[in-house]
Amino acid sequence: MHGLTYDIAHLLAGSLVLVSFMLLYQDRLYALLNVYALHALVLAASVAWQAYAQGAPHLYITAAIALLFKAILIPVVLHRIIVRLGIHREIETVGGIGLTVLLGMGLVALAMVVTLRATEGVDLLAREDLAFALAVVLLGLLMMVTRRNAVSQVVGFMSLENGLVLAATGAKGMPLVVEISVAFSILIAFIVIGIFLFRIRERFDTVDVGALDRYRGEHG
Amino acid sequence: MNFDPVTLLLAIPTVAALLIALMPGSRASATLNTGASSLTFLAALSLLFVERPAPGAYLLVDEFSTIFLVLINFVSFTTSVFSATYVAHEVETGRVTPGFLRLYHALYQALTLAFNLALLSNNIGIMWVAIELATLTTVVMVGIYRTHAAIEAAWKYFILASVGIALALFGTILVYMAAEPVLGAGLNAMIWTDLVSHAASLEPAMLNLAFVFLLLGYGTKIGLFPLHAWLPDAHAEGPTPITAVLSGLLLNVALYALLRCKMLMAGNPGALAPGPLMILMGLVSLLFGAFMLYRRHDIKRLFAYSSIEHMGLITFAFGLGGPLANFAGLLHMVLHSLTKSAIFFSVGDISQVKGTQKIAEMGGLTKTNPLIGWGLVIGVAAIAGLPPLGIFTSEFLTVSATLAAKPWLALPLVLGLLIAVGALFLQLNRIAFGEPKGANHKVKCSYIPMFVHLALVLAACIYLPATLVAWFQAVARLLG
């Protein structure tokens, strides 16, 4: 694994981290969904490149799922949902954007230090991929923690899941990768869109998770 | 065709789930659910008598998983009996529509399938998928009442559990990457039995990193502090049979996954010892759960925190390691499952009789409803670890194992247990004794599952069969 093949894989995985950062500071839902579509697009390219580099044709299926389902279908459906719910307003971010991005940088540094130190015996491409994947996972977690809006929490979760797919495709010859990516897509499709958003809309007239917090079972 | 309990354990719930989902009308679904659960339990029981199949690329049955399989299918069977009368009352009072019964029972069978698959799998990838399936079905079941509180609980559970399973998947990928240079790419590097037999030659640093993720991921599902936030809400807002299933089964299945990972770590001399991490998380959960018992106003939340406390104790015991502590941990896990589900059976009846879950609106249950009231009293006495009941034995063994291995840890351990005892009896006094308070609806209750569980717990303190002890000791040695 040398030269151009490695460089391109590195570039694509690095771009995924970069797009994760872009997700962190989007303060409008439309823009957030567009950046998420970009995130999924970069993932699809990265997975496709891994499929080519490892000579593993089944990974093309994962890439196709990322492209069709995550980069096109999910953003379109979420667009429709937020239009129907009438929430094109700004997203509140807890702690401010500057602080969030700083925290994100800290997490990326952490991911690099931890994985690069732990994986000295592993193939170079897999190592870099793993470090980037962990960074994407941690940034996704950070986004879920800092956002209060249900839609943006879901976007955070989906970006986290993209990091997992990156890690799984980077692990050479890992079985079940396609199955896992399908399982995750089903998870997202069914639970998030099908049940929760509609029910939350139906019951609360808001998709702000903060409004849910007003009801505490303990004191109610 | 040969009799094959392993296939049956997976096939019965699958077929039953499909049948219930596709069958028109919802009247027979409860009967079908109970019937399927009883058959699955019989299949699990038969594992004790037939020769175990050799571990394959996907499935594995050993002594360790057999304990879990028998326990979980037994509790799932008794819960389905309790559930039949419980949901019939919910439909009568109009809390749910009859159409919900089909969804509910189909999910119940899907959940049983997920549990059995997780316990039978010999592949860390499939085990993860099964636990994800269990999570998804329980999320839907927690939110099934569609009230504000139920949706908030389900949402919180969904978010936290998804993060948990995502972290566990990352850990699983790391285990694969550690194994790939040794076992070769492909399916081999995910097969549990191969991983353990080659554990010593895997890269220790990778395993360390993997274990941290697996501990956090599966720890979320076990309900260890500080990852427990979903647990009280999910316990309080779902239908009570599901609360019993969450507390008695789901937490144990997640614990099973964690213990498998611990065995892998223990096989590698260079890797970090998983014990201290588990001891720490277990002890903190125990103390946290015990303190939180005091100011609860909701009866299901009260026992949810008690589950956090006991899962902490069990994790502590397994973290301590060694034959005695592992034996105590296994025994405690089994007895906790039986006792806690018995408690939730009586809590379900109580909340239907009173029409509320608020402790302030209950009182004098032993006078108005002696069977449920005294059932709860016995259950709470058992969970608090009073001597004539089984949990006393396992707590006693845990404390003596602690005194032998790390004497200074016994102090916070005993302190936590005593705090919990005090809180439980304070609360019990408000619920079961004193002047009768609140409404008293006529409810058809099923007492048999509760008293069968309590009788088993009582029997465990008085007499443990020698074969059972030998079996648990063998597993305790296996756990290292």
Quick: pLDDT tens for A90-141. Answer: 566 666 778 888 999 999 999 888 888 777 766 777 778 888 999 999 999 8
Tell me if A120 and B125 make a contact (CB, 8 A cut-off).
no
**Least CB–CB distance from A126: residue in B140, B177, B189:** B177
| C-alpha–C-alpha distance, residues A135 and A163, integer Å | 8
Burial of B476 (0-12, 13-18, 19+ CB in 10 A): buried
What per-residue confidence (pLDDT) applies to A193?
Answer: 56
- Predicted confidence band of residue A39 (pLDDT cuts 50, 70, 90): very high
| C-alpha–C-alpha distance, residues B195 and B123, integer Å | 10
Q: Which of B314, B308, B316, B318 is nearest to B334 (CA)?
A: B314
Q: Which residues in B lie closer than 8 A to residue A203 (C-beta atoms)? A: 146, 148, 151
Quick: pLDDT tens for A45-102. Answer: 999 998 888 888 888 888 888 888 888 888 888 887 777 766 666 566 666 778 888 9
What per-residue confidence (pLDDT) applies to B280?
Answer: 92
What per-residue confidence (pLDDT) applies to A218?
Answer: 46
Q: Which of B423, B243, B258 is nearest to B344 (CA)?
A: B243
Helices H, strands E: what count in chain A? 10, 0
Low-confidence ranges of chain B (pLDDT < 70): 1-3, 26
- The chain A residue lying nearest B128, using CA atoms, is A180
Tell me if A187 and B237 make a contact (CB, 8 A cut-off).
no
Tell me if B152 and A179 make a contact (CB, 8 A cut-off).
no
What per-residue confidence (pLDDT) applies to B309?
Answer: 92
Judged by a CB distance cut-off of 8 A, whether residue B9 touches chain A is no
Tell me if B169 and A137 make a contact (CB, 8 A cut-off).
no
Q: Which residues in B lie closer than 8 A to residue A129 (C-beta atoms)? A: none
What per-residue confidence (pLDDT) applies to B257?
Answer: 92
Tell me if A187 and B132 make a contact (CB, 8 A cut-off).
yes
Which of B128, B147, B169 is the best mutation test for A, with the most CBs of A within 10 A?
B169
Judged by a CB distance cut-off of 8 A, whether residue B181 touches chain A is yes
Q: Which residues in B lie closer than 8 A to residue A124 (C-beta atoms)? A: none
- The chain A residue lying nearest B161, using CA atoms, is A157
Which H or E element spans position B95? none
| C-alpha–C-alpha distance, residues B427 and B424, integer Å | 5
Residue A43 has pLDDT above 90, yes or no: yes
Higher pLDDT, residue B203 or A17:
A17
On whether the CB atoms of residues B345 and B378 are closer than 8 A, the answer is no
Q: Give the 3-state secondary structure of residue B5.
A: helix
**Number of other residues whose CB lies within 10 A of the CB of residue B62:** 15
The residues spanned by each domain of chain B are 273-480
Q: Which of B26, B38, B102, B29 is nearest to B76 (CA)?
A: B38
Tell me if B153 and A161 make a contact (CB, 8 A cut-off).
no
What per-residue confidence (pLDDT) applies to A94?
Answer: 61
Residue A220 has pLDDT above 50, yes or no: no
Tell me if B149 and A220 make a contact (CB, 8 A cut-off).
yes
User: Which one-letter DSSP state was computed for residue B53?
Assistant: P
Q: Is the peptide bond before B241 cis (omega within 30 degrees of 0)?
A: no
Exposure on the CB side of residue B396, measured as CA atoms within 13 A? 10
Which H or E element spans position A69? none
Tell me if B152 and A213 make a contact (CB, 8 A cut-off).
yes
**Least CB–CB distance from A212: residue in B155, B203, B206:** B155
